[in-house]
Amino acid sequence: MDLGCEHCYGEDAETVMEYCTKNLETTRRIVSDSHFGVSLRKCPECGQQFVAIFTEFVDWQGGDDAQYFDIVPVTPIEAKYIVNAQDLLRDLSKLGNRRRRVSSDWPTGGRNRVSWKHGEFHVEEGH
């Protein structure tokens, strides 16, 4: 499977995350809650489509809220499927199969960490 270009799906996770957050165009918002956001985005260089998933877990005790951000490349068929998903959370988690995704973890009280992740992933709504 050929996905993306050197900018949006290159080797270095931090470089890719920075490029993607600054340059991908949001083509469709699927969910936009304050603690849970899912959108369809597109690379301006190569046209690769991505699903971007933002989740935040409000920590009522302290100031920092845990935040997670994943950007998964998808084929046009998958993009269409996600937009019309019957069970969005389940279908999103399956997108992790067979490809890597760039992921940013920002746990409560921790430091932001950007890395590549593989495999099925757990998507849950933030709160």
Q: Residues in the site for Zn ion, rule: CB under 5 A?
A: 4-5, 8, 43, 45-46, 48
- Cα separation, 67 vs 100, in Å, equals 20
Nearest approach in angstroms of CB 7 to Zn ion is 5
Nearer to Zn ion by Cβ, of 4 and 96: the residue is 4
Beta bridge partners of 53: 38, 70
> Are the C-beta atoms of residues 93 and 122 closer than 8 Å to each other?
yes
Nearest approach in angstroms of CB 43 to Zn ion is 3
Nearer to Zn ion by Cβ, of 4 and 37: the residue is 4
Nearest approach in angstroms of CB 33 to Zn ion is 28
The CB-nearest residue to Zn ion is 43
Phi, psi of 10 (to 5 degrees): -75, -155
Q: Residue 16 is encoded by which pair of tokens?
A: 């890719």
Nearer to Zn ion by Cβ, of 51 and 123: the residue is 51
Q: Residue 127 is encoded by which pair of tokens?
A: 């709160």
Nearest approach in angstroms of CB 85 to Zn ion is 24
- Cα separation, 91 vs 89, in Å, equals 6
- Cα separation, 85 vs 87, in Å, equals 5
